[in-house]
Structure 1
Amino acid sequence: MKTTDLAAAERIAIRELLGAVNDEMEASVAPEWERAAWDVPRAAFVAERIYLGDELEPCDRANAPEAWLRAVYANDSVVTQVNDGADLGDGDRRASSSASAPSIVFRMLHMLDVRAGLKVLEIGTGTGWNAGLLNHVAGPGNVTTVEVDSKLAAEAAKRLRREGGAAHVVTGDGAEGYAANAPYDRLVSTCSVRSVPRPWVDQVKAGGVILTPWESPWICYGLLRMTVDDMGCASGPFSPYSAFMLMRNQRTDLRIFRDVVRDDHQPDESTTSLPPWRVTGDDLAAQFAMGLQLRDVWWTRQDDPDVDGVASRLWVATTDATSWAAIDWDGESDDRWTVWQHGPRRLWNEVEAAHAWWVLHDRPGPERFGLTVTAKGESAWLETPDRPVPAAG
């Protein structure tokens, strides 16, 4: 395709993308962000090589410009890096950086309430597109963005300079923020966290906003929007519908048979009437509530585990690998499941209690929960800070 044709195709793609974003959002993209979308085109920031499909097959702009452009302007995330930059050729690929779906980008920008002159700290530069959009609205010199991956940071800085952006790109650990340019009016993270880093609260002005994707070991789901007070605390509600890659220094790499279960473990046997899929299935509100209560518990499912009489098995385990439970389904029963538990904690009992609490409180979704961060730690709450969510363990 000729350069002129590609330019025309890009203009059409931007218009169609904004239409798709407007259709998905509750309110239309604000005029200042729509102007930013035109003046800071996404294609100028996405890497020349992206990875498509479940197998993360490489797609190079030079070799497949039309396919590349379609992927860049789809209302979907685009994987821009695998295996933390170590592409293993035909080996297993794991997404390690991506350009977020435009609908969630503009939703978060709306929630952040950025205006001209406000100082903004972004955690997770990635491609640099989000920083470019922020710079367009907040104004030159008001945006600082931190990226842990030095190669990604350098590439983003180059793109921002090329597109006329004046954002300050820093290579460093996003959990530490960037004190040199503090205090900030707004802090936004483009990676999810399991715990809000204390430096974020310290570096935002009283009345300022912190917006970050949230996850627990149980589920990656939700956005947290907190306001900082004049006592150095931050508090605010969750909202649903987001899934981001976890901040690198909060990752865990745990596997049941490598890290948790040992041949000499002698688990206790019992039964349960709680179907495993009630807490691990399509009801994301239930999963979110489990994650808020079971902050150090994760799960994985094993289909056809090669055990007589077991069609599927749900494993739950602590992140310190000291306690686990296995819940077996025989493929036929719909009212009783076999439970095996090992370790100092009875994890399935904790799951049952967490689910019962959620049901008792009318099955609240993420928007009814919130989080408060103080110098002493974090506390989750239901509807108001004086109604704490019970924590297991």
Structure 2
Amino acid sequence: MNTTPPSQPATGSAAPNGATLRRRLADGLSASGALRSAEWRAAVEAVPREVFVADWFDRDDTDRGTLWTPVTGDKAALDRVYSDVTLVTQLDGHVVPSDVADPVHGAPSSSSTLPGLVVGMLEDLSVRDGDEVLEIGTGSGYSTALLAQRLGDRRVTSVEIDPNTSARAATALRRAGYHPHLVVGDGLDGVPDRAPFTRVIATCSVRRVPAPWLDQADTGAVILTNLSGWLYAYGQVRLTVHGPGHATGAFLPGHVSFMQARRDAPPPIDSRSAMAGTGEGRPTSLGPDILADWTGRFVVQGALPTVQHLRTRVGDDSPYLDHLIATDGSYATLLPQPDGGWRVRQGGPRPMWDRAERAVAAWRAAGSPPTAAFRLRVTPESQSVHLPHTDLAWCLPE
């Protein structure tokens, strides 16, 4: 276990060094409530984040769409590294900041998550001395280093699906003095030859809790993961494992989101049926604004687990149309009305907006509680989300 971070380069008499910035970061995380224990504070003050995030992409929303500007070398200011922000480190599964000189388009595929979220999750994991931890998603290696600092190298196993990302993290970990067990592979499969684990933490989102995580977890183990789906509604859940294939737990407060595990990525949207739909549809009291509500979107996603959202317009003067399109060809198109109301046009094998209306009505009848009010039950046969003391429940997709 490393206790002395690499020395910082001279940055001028007025510039704080890494150790000072780490203490400031710890103070800020303590004030926000993310950092709650002396053990994790010691880890935050010890691990040099700049070793793991030497460069990144800055986001710039322009009239040409979202551009990502590489920040490398002298531009990578130390105080930015120690700010409580997520830093995007890879685009499109392979492009890193050193690959490009100018702003580029792309989709983020790897990042160093904001320290407040990382540390808050580690606190929620309720780590104890002697725990064996499986981390899904090595990423930059920063959270892996925090775990190794807290528990020691040999008790930390981290798996990363992208070989290049894993290699960069391994180099950074060695440079910082950490040597946990690193694996290149699909984290949804776990690491069976290192099981059993007493703690499992995922830094990606999944559509359901992978069976290998449950199989490789000891009885009494804690699994902390982010559940999401194809509507990109998110819920952070903390599970306790009760035996092979069995676990129960609650969703946690707050708005936490992670990039989706690659295996769980949605298929291309087939919008042909929805775009070809005709007719006025029927009135509905449930418009697309429900998708702007964090928990409302979560409820709709639960009711419609194979659905994706597409927004279109015919011309600059025409209204936007919101389409929800399922993999079986079912669709619902929400049509804005002059009076501010909505009509819904449905097609395909099932009238799926009816199901969304029922789910949202049940949620609202219960007082529109937050995501943290929901519970998750896992058995070998199914995984179900439910709102206690109501009939609102759904099964997670296979």
What TM-score results when the alignment is normalised by the length of structure 2?
Answer: 0.87
Provide Cα deviations, 1:70-109, integer angstroms capped at 9, x if missing partner.
Answer: 3321111100111101468555211000011111111100
| Shift in Å, 1:381 | 1.5
Pairwise CA RMSD of aligned residues?
2.5
Contact 2:214-2:244 within 8 A present in 1 as well: no
| Shift in Å, 1:21 | 1.9
1:290 maps to a residue whose letter is V
Aligned positions of 1:21-170 closer than 5 A: 21-25=29-33, 28-46=35-53, 48-54=54-60, 55-60=67-72, 62-66=73-77, 69-86=78-95, 89=100, 91-170=104-183
Structure 1 match to 2:3: none
User: For 2:152 and 2:394, how far apart are their aligned partners in 1?
Assistant: 43
Q: 1:392 to 1:134 in 2, by over 3 A?
A: closer
| Shift in Å, 1:49 | 2.7
Contact 2:386-2:392 within 8 A present in 1 as well: yes
Aligned equivalent of 2:186, options 152, 157, 173: 173
Deviates more, 1:86-95 or 1:126-135: 86-95
Provide Cα deviations, 1:228-254, integer angstroms capped at 9, x if missing partner.
Answer: 012431111112310100001111143
Identity %: 32
User: For 1:192 and 1:106, how far apart are their aligned partners in 2?
Assistant: 17
Structure 1 match to 2:382: 377
| Shift in Å, 1:139 | 1.9
| Shift in Å, 1:324 | 1.2
Aligned equivalent of 1:280, options 271, 282, 291: 291
Contact 2:274-2:323 within 8 A present in 1 as well: no
Contact 2:91-2:107 within 8 A present in 1 as well: yes
1:289 maps to a residue whose letter is V
1:75 maps to a residue whose letter is D
**DSSP-derived class of the 1:8 partner:** coil
Deviates more, 1:345-354 or 1:139-148: 345-354
Structure 1 match to 2:325: 317
Provide Cα deviations, 1:303-350, integer angstroms capped at 9, x if missing partner.
Answer: x43298x522111111x15111111214x422x323222211212222
User: For 1:263 and 1:382, how far apart are their aligned partners in 2?
Assistant: 32
2:300 maps to a residue whose letter is M
Aligned equivalent of 2:259, options 245, 249, 254: 245
| Shift in Å, 1:391 | 5.7
Structure 2 match to 1:292: 302
The total of aligned residue pairs comes to 377
Provide Cα deviations, 1:340-389, integer angstroms capped at 9, x if missing partner.
Answer: 222112122222122111112221211111112211121111137x9660
Contact 2:134-2:200 within 8 A present in 1 as well: yes
Structure 1 match to 2:344: 339
Contact 2:328-2:349 within 8 A present in 1 as well: no
Provide Cα deviations, 1:34-89, integer angstroms capped at 9, x if missing partner.
Answer: 1111211211111x3310023221000x24142xx233211111001111014685
**DSSP-derived class of the 1:19 partner:** helix
**DSSP-derived class of the 1:224 partner:** strand
**DSSP-derived class of the 1:212 partner:** strand
| Shift in Å, 1:186 | 0.3
**DSSP-derived class of the 1:141 partner:** helix
1:17 aligns with 2:25: yes
1:3 maps to a residue whose letter is P
Stretches of structure 2 lacking an aligned partner (at least 5 in a row): 1-7, 61-66
